[in-house]
Structure 1
Amino acid sequence: MGAATVALALAVALAQAASRLLAKAAENWPLLIVIGLALATCLACLRIRRSHRNRADSERLARLRITLAELDAMDDQQFEYALRDLLVRDGWVATKVGRGGDQAADVIGDLVPLGRIVVQAKHTRVGGKVGSSVMYEVNGTAGPAHRADHAVVVTNGSFTRDAMAWGDRHGVHWIDRDRLGQWAHKGRALHELLGLPSRRSRLPWRRAA
């Protein structure tokens, strides 16, 4: 009985407190309306500011141009972020994923209707060359590990003849210093530069035997 009495008393007290709060709210409804309008105005201002910031970021990326000298001066991580920003400029939804165990993918981008692209970045000293082993690695992981429709290796240096020939033969695209200049500095879209198809293609690693 003691516990029931305490519970009943608590319930009555809560009800009385709620009643008092409602009465105060009724008395002060003009103030509550003013507060509500102020909060709504603040939220609207925040949304407008965020929209303006996003638009400014989009416009900045749309004008993005990076010279070869600027790319040469970057470290590996900065180079990967630059390639991500260039993909975003071209309309791709791109993410930098390069890290230990990245399975030959430094940047991954998606763009309807082109599908998914995997970018392997090879930042090197000027005059450095990328060999065929990189092509083998990208070819082995782009489809099975990343479900990619297109794969490309990008360097600020150059490729060996064997690497370019092997990539052309097996569907692994390559961007050497000259092509990188057209993409990054002159503003040509990567998918136009590479001639990527306007629909999802079936790469050699995804074709049925």
Structure 2
Amino acid sequence: MGRKPLRLRRPRGVSEVVSAAVVGLAVLVLAMRMTTAAVGALREAWPVLLALVFLAGTVGAWWNARAMGRRRRDAERLAMLRITLAEFDAMDDRQFEHALRDLLVRDGWPARRVGGGGDQAADVIGDHMRRGRIVVQAKHTRVGGKVGSSVMYAVKGTAGPAHRADHAVVVTNGTFTRDSMAWGDRHGVHWVDRDKLRRWAETGTALHELLGLSARARRGRFKRAA
């Protein structure tokens, strides 16, 4: 059988009524004291709370402004130049190099194409006021083609001695072998495969943002290898 619900019994007699009244009065006094203490604490802490609210609002506004600025810059870059993967695939080697040069210019890197005989593993060179010099080796392949580690070796070997570069990048419309990507990551040679190329050329992400290229604080990384 289920238990009967608990029911409060009305006070009986003068003594029980007085006791109930005393308990109720004590609870009321305690509640009033707690309310007074809470109000006092808020009165003393309001400058701190106001400062926290102001700080949170400032940080939120700064974050939104930064996000809006990034979206605006991406839109402006896309308005200047946008290249699809299908267009890259249809290019020849020379056209691919010119396209990469144009993308660097779009991102604020005054660049020139230098590819050709005796280019010493550099097809495009760009110079940025804050980020220094970048050397790009372009590898245009058939769809599904892979770039091996030998390209990474060549770029690493000439980036500093021949071109005085701060950053070295190998770009392909295909993919890289696992060994070549691992070697490049270990030795500071950046790589842009088909997926990164799409993000760079189609969605408007700047190359230095895509690869996390540093400013002048780390300048000369390849130059010291000369």
Question: TM-score over 0.5 for the alignment?
Answer: yes
Q: Any stretches of 5+ residues in structure 1 without a counterpart?
A: 1-58
Contact (CA 8 Å) 1:120, 1:154: kept in 2 or not? yes
Question: Is 2:197 the counterpart of 1:186?
Answer: no
The residue identity in structure 2 corresponding to 1:110 is: D
Match of 2:215 in 1: 198
Q: Distance in 1 between matches of 2:79 and 2:108?
A: 9
Deviation at 1:199, TM superposition (A): 1.8
Question: Is 2:192 the counterpart of 1:175?
Answer: yes
Flag the 1:208–1:95 CA change in 2: closer, same or farther, 3 A.
closer
Identity %: 79
Deviation at 1:142, TM superposition (A): 0.5
Contact (CA 8 Å) 2:152, 2:189: kept in 1 or not? yes
Match of 2:122 in 1: 105
Partner SS for 1:145: coil
Q: Distance in 1 between matches of 2:225 and 2:206?
A: 31
Deviation at 1:112, TM superposition (A): 1.1
Flag the 1:200–1:98 CA change in 2: closer, same or farther, 3 A.
farther
Flag the 1:146–1:173 CA change in 2: closer, same or farther, 3 A.
same
Flag the 1:100–1:152 CA change in 2: closer, same or farther, 3 A.
same
The residue identity in structure 1 corresponding to 2:209 is: E
Q: Any stretches of 5+ residues in structure 2 without a counterpart?
A: 1-75
Flag the 1:60–1:174 CA change in 2: closer, same or farther, 3 A.
closer
Which runs of structure 2 are paired with 1:16-35 in the superposition (5 Å)? none
Q: Which of the numbers 152, 158, 164 marks the counterpart of 1:147?
A: 164
Deviation at 1:202, TM superposition (A): 4.5
Match of 1:158 in 2: 175
- Please list the CA deviations of residues 52-110 of structure 1 after superposition, one character each: whole Å capped at 9, or x if unmatched: xxxxxxx8985200000000000000000000000000001100000100000000000
Contact (CA 8 Å) 1:171, 1:203: kept in 2 or not? no
RMSD of the TM alignment (CA)? 1.9
Partner SS for 2:134: strand
Q: Distance in 2 between matches of 1:115 and 1:79?
A: 23
Match of 2:107 in 1: 90
Match of 1:68 in 2: 85
Number of residue pairs aligned between Structure 1 and Structure 2: 151
Q: Distance in 2 between matches of 1:140 and 1:161?
A: 20
TM-score by length of 2: 0.63
